[in-house]
């Protein structure tokens, strides 16, 4: 079976992990944690980075840092991995789900703009209020779906106008950029994931980044149980045990070295698929705007025969997976406010499937995937 998207462990990972074990530095303190955070900040050009146990924990902490409180509303796209919405729920807040654009599958910006101007208003304290529910909207979480990005200039202008802090869920978009600005660095705070299927992986892990040193300080504090100093057990608020351990950061340091090579490889894979699958049956692709460089994290195509092609590929040695079920179709988020005119989320979900694109995939395997898809449409 040609796997969908698996880790590529081919460098110094083993050496680094061995070093942790030989020196006994396997837990939450250790030089690899500092090195991983420093090199991550250097790569993205941000003020600071704080590692976390996973991307979901990074999102949870970031919402707290932006001041999201219980009963608040947080705007997010309707199409994403469920962790984005779950992080909002952990605070006791609720998502407002905005439909996606049919071309790039990112949050529909004109729809967002209409919703904010028609259904929300700033109160005398400067808080943005959703008029129908009288609830405060305290942040916007933009998700860079599949490593692609929306027009961030437009989004940030709108959020600025409405005083909305922006959290970038860049879990899938490490290395992607909009007008030379890396995903995760343009909003107030950004989050990444190093889950097994991501462009670089530590097995499990996450990162919070920001240009605001206060946010970085707060992220460090909250992720280490809000301990005030290392000598006493005085904690000044309810904190979390969310730090990444040294042995996983050791893998992260080695993975980060290869990020640019992995990104190049993902871009090559996507361009070969686009070239060879264009015009086959009714296959369509996610559009990437000219201002965006996508890391092409997970190559996904659309077809009306999605279910049949999915079964065919999985039964013929090519791992394939459907796209996420939109948030408004999941039981715990079905009551959330869903802003949409044409329910594009559902349209894309019914047609999209992802195909193998691991950074370790061989040319021969890519050729095999293409041939199987052609065979499906020709038979
Ligand atoms: C868009 C998005 N957000 C959040 C997450 C959560 O990250 P993690 O699995 O590291 O908790 C993921 C992936 O797993 C994701 O794809």
Assess whether the C-beta atom of 83 lies below 6 angstroms from ligand 1: yes
C-alpha of residue 344 to centroid of ligand 1, in Å: 22
The predicted model scores a pTM of: 0.98
Paired tokens of 102: 């049919």
Contacts of 123 (CB under 8 A, 6+ apart): 129
Kindly give the number of the ligand 1 atom that is closest to the alpha carbon of 195.
10
Per-position DSSP letters for 61-102, written without gaps between them? HHHHHTT--TT-EEEEESSS-THHHHHHHHHT-EEEEEPBPT
C-alpha of residue 90 to centroid of ligand 1, in Å: 15
Kindly give the number of the ligand 1 atom that is closest to the alpha carbon of 54.
10
Distance of CA 368 to the CA centre of its chain: 29
Assess whether the C-beta atom of 56 lies below 6 angstroms from ligand 1: yes
Three-class SS string for 314-347?
HHCCECCEECCCCHHHCHHHCCCEEECCCCHHHH
Say which CATH architecture domain 259-378 belongs to: Alpha-Beta Complex (3.90)
Determine how many CB atoms are found less than 10 A away from the CB of residue 375: 11
pLDDT of residue 29: 85
Assess whether the C-beta atom of 84 lies below 6 angstroms from ligand 1: yes
Assess whether the C-beta atom of 171 lies below 6 angstroms from ligand 1: yes
Contacts of 150 (CB under 8 A, 6+ apart): 101, 104, 106, 107, 109, 142, 144
DSSP bridge pairs for 207: 51, 192
What's the topology of domain 13-256? 3.40.640
C-alpha of residue 84 to centroid of ligand 1, in Å: 7
**Consecutive 10-residue averages of pLDDT for the chain (379 residues):** 95 95 91 98 97 98 98 98 98 98 98 98 95 98 98 98 97 98 98 97 98 98 95 96 97 98 98 98 98 98 98 98 98 98 98 98 98 96
Paired tokens of 22: 């030989």
pLDDT of residue 11: 84
Paired tokens of 319: 């791992």
Q: Is 322 exposed, middle or buried (0-12, 13-18, 19+ CB in 10 A)?
A: middle
Paired tokens of 166: 């922006």
Assess whether the C-beta atom of 80 lies below 6 angstroms from ligand 1: yes
> Which residue in 186, 188, 183 sits closest to 215, CA to CA?
188
Domain boundaries, the chain: 13-256, 259-378
């Amino acid at each position: 079976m040609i796997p969908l998207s698996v880790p590529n462990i081919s460098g110094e990972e083993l050496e680094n992990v061995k070093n942790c074990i030989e020196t006994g530095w396997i837990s939450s303190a250790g030089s690899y944690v500092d090195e991983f955070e420093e090199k991550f900040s250097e790569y993205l050009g941000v003020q600071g980075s704080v590692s976390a146990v996973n991307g979901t924990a990074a999102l949870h902490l970031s919402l707290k840092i932006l001041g999201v409180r219980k009963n608040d509303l947080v705007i997010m796209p309707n199409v994403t991995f469920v962790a984005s919405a779950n992080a909002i729920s952990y605070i006791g807040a609720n998502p407002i789900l905005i439909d996606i654009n049919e071309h790039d599958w990112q949050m529909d910006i004109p729809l967002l703009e209409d919703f904010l101007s028609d259904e929300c208003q700033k109160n005398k304290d400067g808080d943005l209020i959703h008029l129908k529910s009288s609830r405060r909207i305290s942040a916007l979480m933009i998700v860079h779906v599949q490593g692609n990005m929306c027009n961030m200039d437009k989004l940030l202008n709108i959020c600025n106008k409405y005083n909305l802090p922006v959290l970038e869920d860049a879990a899938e978009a490490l290395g992607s950029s909009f007008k030379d600005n890396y995903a995760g660095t343009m909003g107030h705070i950004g989050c990444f994931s190093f889950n097994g299927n991501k462009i670089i992986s530590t097995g499990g892990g996450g990162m919070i980044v920001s240009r605001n040193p206060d946010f970085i300080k707060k992220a460090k504090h909250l992720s280490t149980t809000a301990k005030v100093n290392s000598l006493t057990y005085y904690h000044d608020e309810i904190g979390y045990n969310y730090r990444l351990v040294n042995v996983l950061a050791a893998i992260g340091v080695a993975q980060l070295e290869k990020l640019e090579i992995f990104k190049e490889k993902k871009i090559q894979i996507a361009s070969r698929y686009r070239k060879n699958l264009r015009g086959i049956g009714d296959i369509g692709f996610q559009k990437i705007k000219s201002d965006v460089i996508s890391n092409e994290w997970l190559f996904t195509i659309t077809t009306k025969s999605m279910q049949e092609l999915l079964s065919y590929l999985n039964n013929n040695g090519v791992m394939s997976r459907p796209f996420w079920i939109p948030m408004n179709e999941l039981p715990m988020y079905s009551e959330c406010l869903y802003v949409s005119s044409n329910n594009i989320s559902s349209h894309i979900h019914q047609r999209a499937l992802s195909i193998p694109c691991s950074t370790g995939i061989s040319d021969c395997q890519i050729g095999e995937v293409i041939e199987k898809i052609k065979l499906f449409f020709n038979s």
